[in-house]
Amino acid sequence: MIARSLRDAGFEVIYTGLHQSPEQIVRTAIQEDADIIGLSILSGAHLGLFAEVLRLLKENDAEEIGVFGGGIIPTPDIATLYEMGVAKIFTPGASTRDVIAWVDEFVASTNQP
């Protein structure tokens, strides 16, 4: 739903599908010159998956690609994700308008000369 909403709002969205590995996600983001990666986590593996994506971005000198996400993430883990370097976490009930506005602001702020 978020990918479609972002596309409908005018963003170029590359949706890689469900159950992609962190390696596949980072490789695609680098190849496509993405500004940001959005992850939807419902499995409870959010800490490990976000950490691996961030590690791979750093390892590939691509830390300028932001990472945001959402899903069922316990409140204490949200603080941990922010400390790790995740730019934003949206919890269930967040409106697509809020996500679009945040992505728009994030992308604009990272693409300034």
Q: Which domains does the chain have, with CATH numbers?
A: 2-7+34-107 (3.40.50.280)
Look at residue 56 in the predicted model and tell me its pLDDT. 98
pLDDT at position 113: 65
Q: What is the pLDDT of residue 43?
A: 79
- pTM, 2 dp: 0.92
Q: What is the pLDDT of residue 91?
A: 92
Residue 10 class from Cβ within 10 Å (0-12 exposed, 13-18 middle, 19+ buried)? exposed
- Distance of alpha carbon 43 from alpha carbon 41, whole angstroms: 6
Predicted local distance difference test score (pLDDT) of residue 80: 97
Mean pLDDT in order along the chain per 10 residues (113 residues): 94 92 97 96 88 98 97 93 97 95 95 71
